[in-house]
Amino acid sequence: MTTPRSYPKALCSLFGRCGGCANQNVEYGKQLRNKRKMLFERLAHMCATDCIEPVVGLTPPFGYRTRLLMPAIPDGRREPPFRLGLYERHSSRLLDVAGCPVQHPLTLATAAMVQQVLASSPITATAPNSDKGWLHGLGVRVDPQSGAAEVTLVGKSHTIPGGNEIARRIVMLPGVSGVHLSVNPGRSSYLLGDEHVHLAGNKRTVFHLANQAFHVSAGAFFQTSLTGAEILVEQVLGMLPTRFPHLADLYGGVGVFARLTEERWNKAIVAESNPYAVADLHEWIEQTGCRSLRVARGRTEDVMHEVLEPHPDVVILDPPRSGCHPRVISELGRIDSATILYIACSLDALVRDGNLLLDAGYRIDRVSSVDMFPHTDHLEVVVRFVR
């Protein structure tokens, strides 16, 4: 997406250097119009253009990111002997970031406090292509409604320099709900490892969305733009029938959409492979006694036989950026679900998978979208397929 030079100066002084925002120098209304134009161009061969609704933006388009991941690198010229920052565009170099306009203020405040605690510890940072150091970086997720913050130290082993005392000190900071360790033996461009260990405070952090409280483990996914997530939920609920017998929520995470539509269905199943998300959802089922909701643990393509028996009336697809596995689309194509909602974070995957659903006899009758991450090229799209 091109950005005309005549648009206002970006709010952030690091624009053009930081790898986060690509379009901050473009007036926000223009950004939204550009994204709708992009939708027309990508989906015109798949549906009537009057099905495509205007892109819904965030107000204001700043302070929306409720998750912060900051890599660490060694720096012997300062105390502590490392620094945290954000990656420079197309580089592994770190930029010193005193503040970020798109981050929620609570993430920045929490990260600053944690850095002060780390300054008095024996923890040192790792570096690319080096065996020295322990800390890869720091993760913070916050719930704007309650002010609670989840803190994750990303380290290369289970053994924390100085022991767990550092976690007990961090959890005493204002607003910190729990402290966790993400173990990643090798440093890579993506900080977090597959294993998450609870260190101090609450095992799960409560995140509020659409008037419900979700108790989420550090290793489970939850939307990182909660303002945008509220809009996304409204769009999804608006496309679903008010009553239907059976729901299949595929790539369902902690069960957000299954839970938020509980009064609409008689039975539901959530397919999810992440063990932390599955445990969170099982805990909610135990606490609420909602026996009409089942969980199919495993890769979605491997549990389709369980998901499709009995045949669901409504299917919600919320796959990762890579889209759905071909077997998932193939299996959906041979059943007769009345409605399939595809929630896409990648237009490439949506076009690929959507064309397969069209070939199977479905048609698109509505497309909505939300600008979850203003000033980036990202767009969250909800497409309704019907028969």
Place of tokens 């550090």: 218
Sequence-distant (6+) residues with CB within 8 A of 208 are 143, 145, 146, 214, 226
**What does the pLDDT read at residue 4?**
38
Residue 99 structure tokens: 């503040």
Give the pLDDT confidence of 312-362 residue by residue, as tens digits. 999 999 999 999 999 999 999 989 899 999 999 999 999 999 999 999 999
Model confidence at 1, pLDDT cuts 50, 70, 90, reads very low
Give the pLDDT confidence of 235-272 residue by residue, as tens digits. 999 999 999 999 999 999 999 999 999 999 999 999 99
Give the pLDDT confidence of 130-146 residue by residue, as tens digits. 889 999 999 999 999 99
Q: Residue 355: which H helix or E strand, with range?
A: helix 347-359
Model confidence at 78, pLDDT cuts 50, 70, 90, reads low
Instruction: Find the mean pLDDT for residues 21-41.
Output: 94
Residue 98 structure tokens: 């005193």
**What does the pLDDT read at residue 91?**
80
Whether the upstream peptide bond of residue 310 has omega within 30° of 0, thus cis, is yes
Cβ atoms of 159 and 135 within 8 Å: the answer is no
- List, in sequence order, every residue forming a beta bridge with 246; answer none if it has no partner: 267
pLDDT greater than 60 at residue 203 = yes
The whole-model pTM stands at 0.93
**What does the pLDDT read at residue 215?**
98
Q: Residue 83: which H helix or E strand, with range?
A: strand 82-84
Alpha-carbon gap, residue 245 to 268, rounded angstroms? 8
Model confidence at 7, pLDDT cuts 50, 70, 90, reads very low
Using a 10 angstrom Cβ sphere, with 0-12 exposed, 13-18 middle and 19 or more buried, the burial of residue 259 is: buried
pLDDT greater than 90 at residue 89 = no
Give me the percent of the chain exceeding a pLDDT of 70. 97
Model confidence at 80, pLDDT cuts 50, 70, 90, reads low
**What does the pLDDT read at residue 257?**
98
φ, ψ of residue 59 to 5 degrees: the values are -130, 110
Instruction: Find the mean pLDDT for residues 98-110.
Output: 92
What's the CA angle centered on 74, arms 73 and 78, to 5 degrees? Answer: 120
User: Rounded mean pLDDT of the chain?
Assistant: 93
35: amino acid identity, one letter: K
In order of their start, the domains of the chain are 28-60+221-386 (3.40.50.150), 67-212 (2.40.50.1070)
Dmax (CA) of the chain: 65
- Least Cα distance to 110 among 146, 80, 148 occurs for 148
Instruction: Find the mean pLDDT for residues 102-109.
Output: 96
Sequence-distant (6+) residues with CB within 8 A of 308 are 248, 331, 335
Model confidence at 68, pLDDT cuts 50, 70, 90, reads very high
pLDDT greater than 60 at residue 193 = yes
